Structure 1
Amino acid sequence: MSHRLARLAFALACLSAPVVAIAGPMHRYLGVDRTIALDVFRYGFYIAAAAIALALATVVPTRPGDRRRGFVAAVLALIIAGAAAWAPLSWLMHAYRAPDLTDITTDTEDPPKLVVTLQMRQRATNGPAYPGHATAELQHAIYPDLTPIRLNVPPAEAFKRVDHVATEMGWDVVARAPADGRLEAIAISPWFGFRDDIAVRIRRDGAGSRVDIRSKSRSGTSDLGVNAERIRTFARHLLAGQ
C-alpha cells in the first residue's frame, strides 16, 4: 500500500510543477484573466503540498529493505514538489506581509500625472487617480525613505539622466517630453507580465533639479512592495551618476 501512495505522491509532484509554471505565461502570453492565472498558481501549490505530505508519509515505510518498494518515488516526489511549491509559497508569504498599496510616489501631495500611460489603462482594474490621504499616510509609515530626488544639474541634464536610467532598468519608455520635464514608461514583470505605469517629473530646484517618480500597478490590491523597490532602485542609479 505504501508504495502505491509513494507513486501517487510522485504523480502529483509531476503534475504540480507544470501547473505552477504555466500560470504566469497563461496571463502574459494568452491573455487569461489575472484572477484565473493566480488561482492556477495557487492550485499548483496545493497539489505540490499534497504530494509533499504523501511523500513524507511514505518515505520511511518504503525505505530500502526486504520487499519494500516506492522509496525512490517518494524521494523524487519530495524534490519535485518542494521545488514546485517554493515559488508560490514565497509569493503567498510575501503577499500576506505586504501592505495594500498599489500606487507609490515620492510626492504624495502632488503625484506626477499619468498622461500617455493613462490612455493605456483601459483594462486596468485600478483607477488612474491617486488614492488619496489614507494611501499617503500608509506609504509614509511603511516607506519613509521614499522622498524627492535632488540632482545638482539643471533640468535638461537631469532629464537625460532619467532617460538613461529608465532605459538601463529595462522599462518600456512610452513618452519623452523634455520641455515638460516628463517621462513615462511601463514596467512589465518577467513571469506573469503584470504591468505597472511609471511617471517621472523633473522640475528646477534652485541651481539643480528635483525629480519625482510615481509607480502605479494596473491591477491587484497589493503590489507586494514592487513599486517601492522600483523607486528605490531608480533613485540609487540616478544618484550614482552625480
Structure 2
Amino acid sequence: MKVITLIAGILSVLILMLSGPLYQAEVLELRQAFMGFRVALIVGAIVLVLVLIQVIFMRKNIVWSTTIFSTLLALVAVGFPLGMMNKGKSVPAIHDISTDLVNPPKFNAILALRADAPNPAAYQGEEIASQQRSAYPELQTQTYSQSSDLVFDAALASVKNMGLEVVTADKATGQIEAYDTTAWFGFIDDVVIRIQSQADKTILDVRSKSRIGRSDLGKNTERIHEILNGIQLN
C-alpha cells in the first residue's frame, strides 16, 4: 500500500502543478484546467485516508520517510485548491476594480489587445461598484501635492518595477496603460492609470481588469495596492 500511496501523492501534485502550464499551452481548456484542481484535491484526500489507514492498522510495516513524504504531497494537493476556494468565498465575484467608481479610467491604447477577451472593456457600473465598496472600501482616488509630471514619473516607475508590460505612457494626457500576465495560468489583466491636475493638487486613479474569468480572487485589488504603494515621491 505504501507504494500506491506514494504514487498517488506524486500524481496528485503533478495534476495540480500541470493544470496551469497545460492551459497556457492550449492543451486544456480553462474548464478542464480547473477540473484538474478538483481531481488533485480528491486524489490528495484519498492519499491522506490511505496514510491514516497505514498509521492505524499497518504501523509495523510503515516506512516513515515515505509516509511523511506522501502526506506532504497530499497536503499540498488538498491545501492549495481549498485555499483558492476559501479565497474565492472571501472576495466578491468581480474582476474590474477601480479607485474611481463614478468615472473609472477608460482603456484606450490597450483596447486592440483585448479585442477578443471574454470580459468586455466597458465598466459595468453600479452592478460591480456596490460590491467593491463593500469589499474594498479603502480603494479611493489618490491625491498628491507634487506636480502631475512628478506623479506620472513615479507611477510609471512603479508599474515598471512590478514587471508590467507598458503599452502606452502619455504624459500629455496623463494616461498609462499596461498589462500583467500571471505566471501559472498566464491570465492577462489590464491596468490603466489616470493622472490629472486639479487646482494645486494632482489626483491619480487606477483601474485593473481581468480579460477572462468572473472572479479575480482579489488579484486586481492586490495589484492596485502594489502600484500605489510603489509610487515613491519625495
- The answer to whether TM tops 0.5 is yes
Matched residue, 1:163: 156
RMSD: 1.8
CA distance in 2, matches of 1:86, 1:22: 16
User: Residue 43 of structure 1 aligns to which amino acid in structure 2?
Assistant: V
Correspondence 1:200-211 to 2 at 5 A: 200-211=193-204
CA distance in 1, matches of 2:50, 2:212: 36
Q: Helix, strand or coil: the match of 1:193?
A: coil
Matched residue, 2:72: 79
CA-to-aligned-CA distance 1:188-228 (integer Å, 9 cap, x gap): 11211211100000100222310101000111111111111
For these two proteins, the number of residue pairs brought into alignment is 234
CA distance in 2, matches of 1:30, 1:192: 11
Normalised by the length of structure 1, the TM-score is: 0.89
Correspondence 1:41-80 to 2 at 5 A: 41-64=37-60, 68=61, 73-80=66-73
Matched, 1:96 2:89: yes
Matched residue, 1:141: 134
Q: Which runs of 5+ in 1 are unaligned?
A: none
Asked whether the equivalents of residues 95 and 220 of structure 2 are also in contact (C-alpha less than 8 Å), the reply is yes
Q: Helix, strand or coil: the match of 2:140?
A: coil
CA distance in 1, matches of 2:38, 2:184: 15
Matched residue, 2:24: 28
Matched residue, 1:107: 100
The 1:73/1:161 distance shift into structure 2, 3 A limit, reads closer
Matched residue, 1:241: 233
Correspondence 1:175-186 to 2 at 5 A: 175-186=168-179
Using the aligned pairs only, state the percent identity: 29
Q: Which runs of 5+ in 2 are unaligned?
A: none
User: Residue 192 of structure 2 aligns to which amino acid in structure 1?
Assistant: A
Normalised by the length of structure 2, the TM-score is: 0.92
